[in-house]
């Protein structure tokens, strides 16, 4: 796997300016399929609570779990967890991991037929069991899929305490089926575990969703890649955000690494490209001064995979300092879009129609300007967009719960800016 990192910015600052912004694009390319640098462990968690009996969810979940098992590469360690009021290992024997082969995949498929819906929802317990199984394989590319259809039944704060103890150990992609689960709960898991969250409104779409998640997981070739950010003395990192393929604020995940440097976890990597927005406050310079505002390194352990430099150059030439960098402007807009949609949804839930209309109007405008068609379409299910250019919208009286949840979960999805402009 070969990694490249490139910084996009307007390095020119007006005299007295101290805020440096850059978009860093990290891209990895490998030979077809890539070669894993470590082993891989996959845990599939399927909610088997009583509510899964509705709408044929459990049957669809069985089928989806089987499809996910079929996607496992030979040699991958895996286990299936049935999610009820406690965590029950469905396959293989409790406390063990199976090694994927034609035979173990067939055995796992038979085991899935024993999955019946009866019991509660205990996400913290499910994830804790997944973490215990994964702990047997240190250094593996570890990933879990979690399917649920309802609220977490554990005591307040328990899920958060579990997440605090297992964060960084593996990545978790969560999917909610139906509309009786809470977006905020699964988002909390996705944020802590560097994974994704999405709604699968109809059980019939579960198989495709599981296949997609498992294919992506099998494409990961590095277990634990981190962004190392060095800044000069008297500089502070204001934020580090992933901005593509979706917005995720990494600022709080900082761990110090030597003087003036810190690491931010990125999770596992395959052949892919992601964009990060780094914002640094530096001491002001004089005209003609050039400063390295940040040295961004992609690291795996002590190995530096690639580097990009974020610079600050002070100038009294306003033609240079007022230039707008397209990448920075675009992703600043995409991050605002995600925040605005979530604020709109909050306001609508609180019955504040005025604020909701304003927020959704601004969101429609941002989505239109940036060419984020997918988000525009999701917005159109919640509001009538009269004029996207001016952000004129009207709240719909009737909004399907699934549409609002889809808008909520997918609000952080961004589109890439055209390069070289």
Partner 1 sequence: MTDCASCADERTAGATFCEVCGRSLAPEPACEHCGTPGGVGEDGYCEHCGMLAGRERDHLETDCGAVAASVTDRGLRHHRNEDAMWLVTRGSEVDVVISDGVSSSFDPDVASLTAVQAAGDLLPAGDVAAAISAAQAAVAELAASGDPRRQASNPACTIVSAAVRGDAVTVGWIGDSRAYWVPEVGPAEQLTEDDSWATHVIALGADPEQAMRDPKAHAITAWLGADAGKVTPRTGEFVVGDAGHLVLCSDGLWNYLTDPAAFAAAVREGLREQGTLISAARWLADYANTAGGADNITVALIPVSPLAKE
In the complex, which residues of this chain contact partner 1 (CB under 8 A)? Answer: 231-235, 282, 285, 287-293, 295, 309, 313-317, 319-320, 419-421
- Can you tell me the distance from the alpha carbon of 371 to that of 86, in angstroms, rounded to the nearest whole number? 45
DSSP-derived secondary structure for 126-137:
HHHHHHHHHTTS
Beta strands 171-177 and 141-148, pairing class: parallel
- Can you tell me the distance from the alpha carbon of 409 to that of 12, in angstroms, rounded to the nearest whole number? 37
**Closest distance between partner 1 and the C-beta of residue 298, in Å?**
16
**Closest distance between partner 1 and the C-beta of residue 108, in Å?**
48
Contact 69, 105 (CB under 8 A): yes
Which lies closer to partner 1 via its Cβ, residue 252 or residue 258? Answer: 258
Beta strands 19-29 and 87-91, pairing class: unpaired
Which lies closer to partner 1 via its Cβ, residue 373 or residue 419? Answer: 419
**Closest distance between partner 1 and the C-beta of residue 274, in Å?**
19
Helix or strand holding residue 45 (H, E): strand 40-47
**Closest distance between partner 1 and the C-beta of residue 415, in Å?**
19
Going through 271-350 in order, the beta strands assigned E by DSSP cover: 273-281, 290-300, 303-315
Which lies closer to partner 1 via its Cβ, residue 289 or residue 384? Answer: 289
| Cα-based torsion angle of the residue sequence 176, 178, 184, 188 in order, rounded to the nearest 10 degrees | -10
Which lies closer to partner 1 via its Cβ, residue 163 or residue 313? Answer: 313
Which lies closer to partner 1 via its Cβ, residue 9 or residue 121? Answer: 9
Beta strands 303-315 and 12-14, pairing class: parallel
Locus of tokens 């509705």: 54
**Closest distance between partner 1 and the C-beta of residue 141, in Å?**
31
Which lies closer to partner 1 via its Cβ, residue 271 or residue 309? Answer: 309
**Closest distance between partner 1 and the C-beta of residue 237, in Å?**
13
């Amino acid at each position: 796997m070969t990694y490249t990192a490139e910084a996009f910015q307007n390095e020119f600052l007006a005299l007295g300016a101290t805020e440096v912004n850059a978009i860093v694009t990290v891209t990895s390319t490998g030979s077809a399929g890539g070669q894993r640098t470590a082993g891989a462990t996959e845990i599939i968690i399927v909610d088997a609570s009583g509510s899964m009996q509705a709408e044929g969810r459990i049957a669809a979940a069985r089928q989806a779990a089987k499809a996910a098992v079929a996607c496992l590469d030979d040699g991958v360690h895996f286990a299936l967890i049935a999610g009820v009021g406690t965590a029950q290992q469905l396959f293989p024997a409790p406390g063990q991991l199976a090694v994927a082969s034609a035979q173990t995949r067939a055995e796992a498929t038979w085991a899935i037929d024993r999955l019946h819906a009866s019991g509660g929802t205990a996400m913290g317990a499910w994830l804790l069991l997944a973490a215990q199984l994964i702990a047997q394989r240190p250094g593996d590319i570890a990933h879990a899929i979690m399917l649920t259809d309802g609220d977490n039944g554990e005591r307040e704060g328990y899920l958060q305490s579990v997440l605090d103890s297992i964060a960084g150990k593996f990545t978790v992609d969560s999917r909610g089926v139906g509309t009786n689960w809470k977006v905020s709960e699964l988002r909390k898991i996705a944020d802590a575990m560097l994974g994704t969250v999405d709604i699968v409104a109809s059980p019939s779409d579960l198989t495709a969703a599981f296949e997609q998640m498992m294919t992506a997981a099998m494409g990961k070739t590095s277990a634990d890649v981190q962004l190392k950010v060095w800044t000069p003395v008297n500089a502070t990192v204001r934020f580090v955000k992933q901005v593509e393929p979706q917005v995720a604020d990494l600022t709080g995940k900082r761990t110090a690494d030597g003087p003036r440097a810190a690491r931010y976890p990125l999770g596992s990597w395959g052949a892919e490209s992601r964009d990060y927005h780094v914002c640094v406050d530096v001491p002001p310079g004089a005209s003609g001064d050039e400063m390295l505002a940040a040295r961004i390194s992609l690291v795996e352990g002590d190995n530096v995979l690639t580097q990009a430099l974020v610079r600050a150059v002070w100038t009294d030439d306003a033609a240079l300092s007022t230039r707008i960098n397209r990448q920075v402007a675009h992703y600043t807009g995409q991050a605002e879009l995600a925040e605005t949609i979530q604020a709109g949804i909050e306001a609508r839930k609180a019955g504040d129609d005025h604020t909701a209309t304003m927020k959704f109007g601004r969101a429609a405008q941002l989505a239109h300007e940036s060419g984020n068609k997918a988000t525009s379409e999701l917005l159109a299910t919640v509001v009538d967009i009269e004029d996207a250019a001016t952000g004129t919208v009207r709240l719909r009286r009737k909004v399907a719960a699934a549409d609002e949840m889809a808008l909520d979960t997918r609000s952080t999805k961004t589109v890439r800016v055209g390069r070289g402009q």
